Chains A and B, each alone.
Chain A
Amino acid sequence: MRPEDFDFVAKLLKDRSGLVISRDKAYLLESRLTPVARKRGMKGLDDLLGSLKTSGEDLLREVTEAMTTNESFFFRDIKPFDQFKALVLPRLLTNRAAKKTIRIWSAASSSGQEAYSLAMILKEEGAKLAGWKIEIVGTDISTEMLEKAKAGLYSQFEVQRGLPIQLLVKYFKKNNEMWQIDSSIRGMVQFREYNLLHDLKTLGQFDVVFCRNVLIYFDQPTKTRVLDNVAKIMPDDGLLYLGGAETVLGISDKFKPVPEQRGIYAVVRPGAPAPAR
């Protein structure tokens, strides 16, 4: 790989998705982009990289998608979902009792498992939420992942990572060798194409934001920018979820950790009264 080709593709990825690829991660280009090159009838990575400068939007998009697609499982890490059930949801039921509206955002939703895990939790709590308007929005920059998420079709391997068997039986149907999530759950989630680096305001306001294992791919200024923008579309009592290896400390003063609730961060508004916990 020529250094100027690496620099070009690294900048392209950074500009379009925020993804930071260092030279020691150059092997990722090889493993993820070689299939893209082959699909286009090119010999390999070098051909592909060489053609990027003169190529059209389609290829640039495909390259970005191939590099930023990450795996996702149902109820990933379990704990955040237990916290959601035990702490976040009861709090929302109290704080939103008048409005009876809850909006949740699964940022960088990939193939949709996080958004659907939340939908299943809410469905299971059905009686408490009668008369409430609940919106779950999943966003991603990859149209391929969004299509997969919308279809709600998962392989046998995917439905066995994190999904309790009772929920598989209850909310999935077998469709040849794939498992499809029930339309009643699919109907609870909207998937939209959205880039976290863009202005988020058109998404509307969210009471809870799941942005887990996303920031790890960004450099520090990008992390700060994304967190600051996310805070702008959350109410004063909004809660943010980050991944296990992520934090707001030293990155953004718009959020602070919720004591004893690992991975959950509360919005900080200068001058606003401390929200009830």
Chain B
Amino acid sequence: MKSCLIVDDSKVIRMVAKKILQELTFSTAEAEDGQQALDYCKGSMPDAVLLDWNMPVMNGIEFLRELRRLPGGEKPVVVFCTTENDIEHIQEAIMAGANEYIMKPFDSEILQAKFSQVGLL
């Protein structure tokens, strides 16, 4: 079973994502901000990270840059999932090492399509 860390400060979004991912047979863990996510990854690297951009304490892009510097931090497939939907943000995310990018609002079909594109399904 593949694992996915869901990083989002909205409890509702985490719940929705968790439900979809579990249907896709992922085991899930949750973090409310980038710092919590980073701490989690230092303990064990998930196969995938579903990552919000705007969060308190540490935002998504800062988390991603820190993650990619960790030993083994190149391994997780990182899929942004954010309301930021302009080319500049998407480019910045790709430059920082994101593998895919979902623009909110999303549904299970989009999440599934994106996860299969990056080889997670």
User: A residues touching B (Cβ–Cβ < 8 Å)?
Assistant: 73, 78, 156-157, 160-162, 164-166, 168-169, 173-174
Contacts and interface: CB of A to CB of B under 8 A. Distances in A.
Interface in B78-121: 85-87, 90-91, 94, 98, 100-103, 106, 109-110, 113-114, 116-117
A219 to B, nearest CB: 30
Nearest to A73: B113
Contacts of B91: 169
Contact of A169 (B94, B102, B109): B94
A166 B91 CA distance: 9
Interface residues of B, number: 18
Nearest to A159: B103
A73, A156, A160, A173 interface centre (most CB from chain B within 10 Å): A160
Given A160-B103, A160-B106, A173-B87, A165 B94 contact: yes
A166 B110 CA distance: 16
Interface of B: 85-87, 90-91, 94, 98, 100-103, 106, 109-110, 113-114, 116-117
A139 to B, nearest CB: 26
A161 B100 contact: no
Contacts of A165: 90, 94, 98, 100-101
Q: Which 8 A-B pairs have the closest CB atoms?
A: A165-B101, A160-B110, A161-B113, A165-B100, A156-B103, A169-B90, A164-B117, A162-B113
A60 to B, nearest CB: 34
6 contacts: A160-B102, A160-B110, A160-B113, A165-B94, A166-B94, A174-B85
Contacts of B102: 160
B90 to A, nearest CB: 5
Contacts of A73: 113
A168 B109 contact: no
Given A78-B116, A78-B117, A161 B87 contact: no
Contacts of A168: 90
B106 to A, nearest CB: 7
A157 B110 contact: yes
B46 to A, nearest CB: 20
A160 B108 CA distance: 12
B72 to A, nearest CB: 24
Contacts of B101: 165
A169 B87 contact: yes
Contact of A174 (B86, B100, B110): B86
A166 B103 CA distance: 14
A173 B98 CA distance: 20
Contacts of B114: 160
A165 B93 CA distance: 10
Residue in A157, A165, A169 with the greatest tally of chain B CB atoms within 10 Å: A165
Contacts of B87: 169, 173-174
A174 B91 CA distance: 13
A164 B114 CA distance: 8
A147 B58 CA distance: 45
